[in-house]
């Protein structure tokens, strides 16, 4: 049987317009309550802070990129870069989109600065057309 999280009750003060905007999000998105919206926002804030801090805090993320595999040297450059970051990349997936384009998805874990360095290296490889890093944290955020 899983252990239930203990919920602490807090009181916050917000401007009337901000509360109206929160209620609009609840109605549009289907959140169950104001508390659910605020918890979601706070988790997002904590993820942002963990990634800003750098340091030894371990984070996780997903790096997605599309590249033209016909570009000379792109496959070798991507392979070399990924091998250099083998301690940061914990999983990967490769998809052939069409005759020229491939999609790769890399699950990354570790120091935020190292992950940002990997992202920048991938971005600067000739033939990479698009990339996006989805930032997250592990179970430390409740």
Q: Which domains does the chain have, with CATH numbers?
A: 16-53 (1.10.1220), 59-136 (3.30.70.1150)
What integer is the mean pLDDT of 44-73? 88
Has residue 2 got a pLDDT over 50? no
Has residue 53 got a pLDDT over 50? yes
Q: Please, which residues bridge with residue 61 across strands?
A: 108, 135
The structure's pTM equals: 0.80
Has residue 105 got a pLDDT over 60? yes
CA 11/CA 116 separation, integer angstroms: 36
What integer is the mean pLDDT of 79-86? 96
Residue 1: predicted pLDDT:
40
Q: Would you tell me how many other CB atoms lie within 10 Å of the CB of residue 32? A: 8
CA 70/CA 72 separation, integer angstroms: 6
CA 75/CA 21 separation, integer angstroms: 47
Q: Which residues, in sequence order, are CB contacts of 112 under 8 Å at separation 6+?
A: 50, 51, 52, 53, 54, 57, 59
* Percent of residues, the chain, with pLDDT higher than 90: 73
């Amino acid at each position: 049987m899983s252990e239930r999280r203990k919920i602490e009750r807090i009181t916050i003060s917000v401007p009337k317009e901000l509360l109206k905007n929160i209620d609009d999000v609840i109605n549009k998105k289907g959140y169950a309550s104001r508390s659910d919206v605020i918890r979601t926002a706070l988790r997002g804030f904590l993820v942002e802070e963990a990634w800003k801090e750098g340091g030894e805090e371990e984070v996780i993320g997903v790096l997605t990129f599309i590249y033209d595999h016909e570009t000379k040297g792109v496959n070798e450059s991507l392979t070399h870069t990924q091998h250099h970051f083998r301690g940061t990349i914990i999983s990967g997936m490769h998809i052939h989109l069409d005759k020229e384009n491939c999609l790769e998805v890399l699950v990354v874990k570790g120091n935020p600065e190292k992950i940002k360095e990997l992202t920048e290296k991938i971005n600067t490889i000739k033939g990479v057309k698009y990339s996006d890093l989805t930032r997250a944290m592990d179970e430390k955020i409740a």
